[in-house]
Amino acid sequence: MSGNTKDFFQFVAGLQSPKNFQDLHWEGNFSQYLEMVKTQPNIARNAFQRMYDLILGFGTSQFIEYKKEVTHYKFFEDPIDNGKDAVFGLDVHLMKLVNFLRSAALGYGTEKRVLLLHGPVGSAKSTIARLLKKGVERYSYTPEGAVYTFKFVDDPKHGLVGSTGEMRSPMNEDPLMLIPENARAAFEDELNKTAKANYKIRIRGELSPPMRFIFRELMARHKGDWAKVMDHVKVTRFVLSEKDRIGIGTFQPKDEKNQDSTELTGDINYRKIAEFGSDSDPRAFNFDGEFQVANRGVIEFVEVLKLDVAFLYDLLGASQEHVVKPKKFAQTSIDEVIIGHTNEPEFRKLQNNEFMEALRDRTVKIDIPYITKLHEEIRIYEKDFGKGKVQGVFIAPHTIEMAAMWAILTRLEAPKKSDLSLMQKLKLYNGKTLSGYTEDNVKELRKEAVREGLDGISPRYIQDKISNTLVKYGHLGCVNPFMLFNELESGLRHHTLLSSEEKRREYKELLAAVKQEYEDIIKNEVQRAISADESAIGNLCGNYIDNIKAYTQREKVRNRYTGQLEQPDERMMRSIEEKIDVPESRKDDFRREIMNYIGALAVEGKSFDYKTNERLHRALEMKLFEDQKDSIKLSSLVSNVVDKGMQEKIDVVKTRLIRDFGYDDISATDILNYVASIFARGDTKDRA
């Protein structure tokens, strides 16, 4: 036992790095710090500049959406925590957020504003704020994101810095703030002449009251000799930490009776009054309000518009003038990014309240709506429930996809065009093509739907119902979309954000549309699994091509079995073309298009492959399925009367479903039985 304990102790000790700890807690004098600033001027960046550089540091990529270039910032994939807080499908909105930070970093004015994330519940507002806080914390651990502050040291007998002989800046202020006001402009000019930095270095703000008090007393002691005062200064590196309340603050409103402004701006430390003699001595004041602990970093206001009016006054000064007013002391400079988030009802109250005009004027609102792209919504749920994430339970194909589809349908506004269904609109948004709709048309659809993504079912509801489904049916070893549909529908009765019965009915109707879509998908997959014999499809394609070639060239075709010349088989050709809705009036055009395409390939020395023509491939599969389904007699599954030969054929289909479509044995059997029941009803119409 003791041997094992010793091994574990050495194992843990071996994972620690004293050198890394020493680097993160470097300490030196003020002169050394100025030399560092000279060679690495980026260490003197402000909070906005560091946050902007942090995001850019993870890289970007570009893509085109509706003929406009969109920048994707990889930081929001959460590479820090392997995607734990990744944000999906909001690239356009996140671009606006990063543009706000860029403008603030360059000093264009937005550094004097509160960044307000606005959107419905569960739309990732808190996740974005958490990502930014986590990002600046981890950034401070890197050489590029190193941050420095200072402390005053003095003989305890003077009583200036307390009995410990040192007093650290309570707000982790930038050491450059020790440079006197009358020397700052000249210092900045000299530094910026030679410094190779991303930004011009600017020293803003004044020392906090306790540091200003000590600085003033030391200047008096040394008769104005600033250099001697600097001998009392030790510069130290520090790392931001939300848990330790260093450089990262979070404020959450409580009920009105319990709100206290000292939570934001600090309060008197009564124990230190005995040491320093007066409650008006700044050294006896705790500068530990959220605004002060967040200095040099970021502060998050949860549900910011629920704040009492007294708090909002503090917020106004903090954003516009970058100062806060502690009780009994002068205004204190701060350097931090202020992020708030709120939901729509609260924001409407702000808009309608004339007394909040000053706050509205100091706010930059970034909308964070729900996702309206199916493939992006799916990524949210795959993060927790994707392949390999759930132990012991197999989630059947399309289960997550169908839940995501329903969620998005609830968020979309009904299209104004009568010939466009909500499901078709969803598919257009997801990048599918639809006859008669161009990229410009889709862009117009988005523009006319001004509230799209601001209402509907939240991802949290879907996540909760997937969890419920896994708990309820997990003992069966497999969960499928129908199990999840039941959970989604039954949960609507108790959904706290659905107050109207009309809305519940509407959501149930949308769920019925998703069930129909799922039914079409699995019918299609079963059909493809039955007709997946490549050689049979190839033979059918060859026969079709021979016949349309003879038809277009007004020739006869040689019968492969009898060797006799015969007229092209019109019935066979139409049976294939009708599968993809080629009308009688268009058959000649369609056949000529195929032959022209084959001819163009021949000129290039290439041969025709039916797989490259998606419509023709689908038509061939459907035709082959129609020809084979009677020989397989899938509907006999319903009666459970299956002979050995038939069972072998069904097992082949099941194997293809598992191999080609991702099913397991249970889910493959389930969909075969379900599709068999459809055929038993005589419902063989394909709606895919």
Structure tokens at 129: 């704020």
Q: Which of 474, 496, 528 is where one domain is finished?
A: 528
> How far lies 129's CA from each of 300, 302, 635, in Å?
7, 9, 55
Strand partners, 366: 117
10 Å CB burial of residue 486 (0-12, 13-18, 19+) is middle
Report yes or no on 301 lying in a domain. Answer: no
411 and 473 share a domain?
A: yes
Closest CA to 194 of 316, 311, 40: 40
How far apart (Å, rounded) are the C-alpha atoms in residues 203 and 498?
52
CB 405 within 8 A of CB 515: no
CB 78 within 8 A of CB 133: no
Structure tokens at 214: 């000590």
Taking all residues of the chain, what is their mean pLDDT, rounded to a whole number? 88
576 and 537 share a domain?
A: yes
SS in 3 state form for 454-521? CCCCCHHHHHHHHHHHHHHHHHHCEECHHHHHHHHHHHHHHCCCCCCHHHHHHHHHHHHHHHHHHHHH
657: number of Cβ within 10 Å: 26
How far apart (Å, rounded) are the C-alpha atoms in residues 382 and 614?
28
Report yes or no on 47 lying in a domain. Answer: no
> What value does the CA radius of gyration of the chain take, rounded to a whole number of Å?
34
Check residue 636 and give its pLDDT: 55
541 and 516 share a domain?
A: no
Report yes or no on 225 lying in a domain. Answer: no
Whole-prediction pTM: 0.85
- Averaged pLDDT for residues 93-101: 97
Using the predicted structure, report yes or no on whether residue 468 has a pLDDT greater than 60. yes
- Averaged pLDDT for residues 198-226: 94
Closest CA to 297 of 136, 175, 97, 109: 136
Closest CA to 190 of 177, 203, 174: 203
Report yes or no on 302 lying in a domain. Answer: no
517 and 380 share a domain?
A: yes
Report yes or no on 120 lying in a domain. Answer: no
Report yes or no on 418 lying in a domain. Answer: yes
Structure tokens at 496: 């706290």
How far apart (Å, rounded) are the C-alpha atoms in residues 138 and 56?
14
Check residue 126 and give its pLDDT: 94
Check residue 530 and give its pLDDT: 79
pLDDT band at 8 (very low <50, low <70, confident <90, very high): confident
- Averaged pLDDT for residues 99-124: 94
524 and 430 share a domain?
A: yes
539 and 482 share a domain?
A: no
Check residue 461 and give its pLDDT: 94
518 and 543 share a domain?
A: no
Report yes or no on 378 lying in a domain. Answer: yes
pLDDT in tens, 129-183: 999 999 999 999 999 999 999 999 999 999 899 889 999 999 999 999 999 999 9
Q: Which of 505, 528, 551 is where one domain is finished?
A: 528
520 and 576 share a domain?
A: no
SS in 3 state form for 32-73? HHHHHHHHCHHHHCCHHHHHHHHHHHCCEEEEEECCEEEEEE
> Percent of the chain scored above 90 by pLDDT?
55
515 and 593 share a domain?
A: no
Looking at the structure of the chain, the number of domains it has is 2
| Most trustworthy range by pLDDT among 47-56, 246-255, 271-280 | 47-56
Q: List the domain range (segments joined by +) for residue 383.
A: 374-528
> How far lies 650's CA from each of 389, 417, 508, 628, 683, in Å?
31, 44, 35, 12, 20
463 and 600 share a domain?
A: no
Report yes or no on 433 lying in a domain. Answer: yes
CB 113 within 8 A of CB 335: no
Closest CA to 506 of 408, 370, 372, 410: 410
483 and 546 share a domain?
A: no
Q: Which of 476, 505, 528 is where one domain is finished?
A: 528
602 and 539 share a domain?
A: yes
Residue with tokens 């021979």: 546
